[in-house]
């Protein structure tokens, strides 16, 4: 059977483009030894530019194929929930499609790795149950990844206060390897403890260390302190940190020499 690597991007064209560029990088690095299959959850977040871009990739990159799931509808009209909560529900509902896709692909290919977006964390247990090595791909820099990994610890530190970070303007949070951060300036889904998005972000962060590796869209010399802090395990004080791979910057090809794309796997 052929060897395949399956990618599962999050919502929005930014996440899709980054994941596809990762697929291109894998193909270049391993001399097209693998086929790249990208799972696409289709729903209300799809846009014409995203569809056009995917069609272009299908026509110009024969080693990359797409497995589109049936259209899935979720309520995007709620004014009380952060959009992250909607994303989370969408991908939770897509878990059965992920299971079916991986089972079908395993009949014709040997799936060597399953690479998922941060927002697709609910797919991690699905792949693990099938015995497929699963990696997280983080489209942000290492500094944000360090903060996200440490978020469960920050949550526990302030859990007894029952206060949301949006209501703590004089409080500064301390993340390993990063400057102190005013509580009201954290990632938006972290601001309100009563928003379902807060629990979703906590769930995503708790699953990160359980993957087989973290692929970060950065390179070591750009963020040496943040990368070192993550690799030393400081951001996951009560658990193990998986291997960290700096594979960026990933830049969408516009016709220039693709060999200029850096990849630091050290």
Number of H helices, E strands in the chain: 8, 9
CA distances from 145 to 149, 228, 230 (A): 6, 12, 8
Please give the residue range of the domain that contains residue 64. Answer: 2-141+211-260
* Two tokens, residue 250: 């990933």
178 lies in some domain: no
Q: What is the pLDDT of residue 46?
A: 82
Q: What is the pLDDT of residue 49?
A: 85
Domains: count for the chain: 1
179 lies in some domain: no
CA pair distance 247, 120, nearest whole angstrom: 19
176 lies in some domain: no
What 127-133 contacts at long range (C-beta under 8 Å, 24+ apart), as own/partner pairs, is: 127/98, 127/102, 130/99, 130/102, 130/103, 130/106, 132/6, 132/102, 132/106, 133/212
Torsion of the alpha carbons at 15, 20, 23 and 24, rounded to the nearest 10: -130
Q: What is the pLDDT of residue 33?
A: 87
Residue 144 CB partners (closer than 8 Å, separation 6+): 138
CA pair distance 5, 202, nearest whole angstrom: 28
The residues annotated as belonging to the active site are 15, 117
DSSP code for 213: -
Q: What is the pLDDT of residue 39?
A: 97
245 lies in some domain: yes
Q: Is 75 exposed, middle or buried (0-12, 13-18, 19+ CB in 10 A)?
A: exposed
172 lies in some domain: no
Residues lower than pLDDT 70 in the chain: 76-81, 253-266
185 lies in some domain: no
68 lies in some domain: yes
C-alpha 264: how far from chain center: 19
CATH of the domain at 219: 3.40.50.2000
58 lies in some domain: yes
């Amino acid at each position: 059977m052929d060897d395949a690597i399956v990618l599962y991007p999050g919502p929005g064209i930014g996440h899709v483009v980054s994941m596809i560029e990762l697929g291109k990088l894998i193909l270049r690095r391993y001399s097209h030894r693998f086929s790249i299959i990208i799972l696409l959850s289709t729903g209300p977040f799809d846009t014409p530019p995203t569809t056009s871009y995917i069609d272009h990739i299908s026509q110009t990159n024969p080693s990359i194929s797409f497995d589109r799931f049936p259209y899935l509808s979720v309520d995007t009209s709620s004014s009380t929930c952060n959009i992250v909560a909607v994303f989370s529900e969408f991908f939770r509902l897509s878990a059965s499609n992920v299971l079916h896709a991986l089972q079908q692909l395993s009949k014709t290919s040997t799936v060597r790795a399953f690479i998922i977006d941060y927002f697709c964390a609910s797919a991690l247990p699905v792949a693990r149950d099938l015995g497929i090595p699963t990696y997280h791909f983080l489209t942000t820099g290492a500094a944000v990844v360090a903060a996200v990994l440490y978020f469960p610890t920050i949550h526990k530190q302030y859990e007894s206060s029952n206060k949301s970070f949006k209501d703590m303007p004089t409080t500064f949070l301390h993340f390993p390897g990063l400057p102190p951060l005013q509580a009201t300036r954290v990632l938006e889904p972290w601001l309100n403890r009563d928003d379902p998005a807060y629990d979703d972000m906590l769930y995503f962060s708790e699953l990160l260390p359980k993957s087989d590796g973290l692929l970060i869209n950065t390179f070591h010399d750009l963020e040496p302190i943040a990368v070192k802090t993550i690799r030393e395990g400081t951001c996951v004080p009560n658990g193990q940190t998986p291997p960290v791979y700096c594979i960026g910057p990933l830049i969408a090809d516009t016709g220039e020499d693709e060999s200029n794309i850096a990849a630091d796997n050290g």
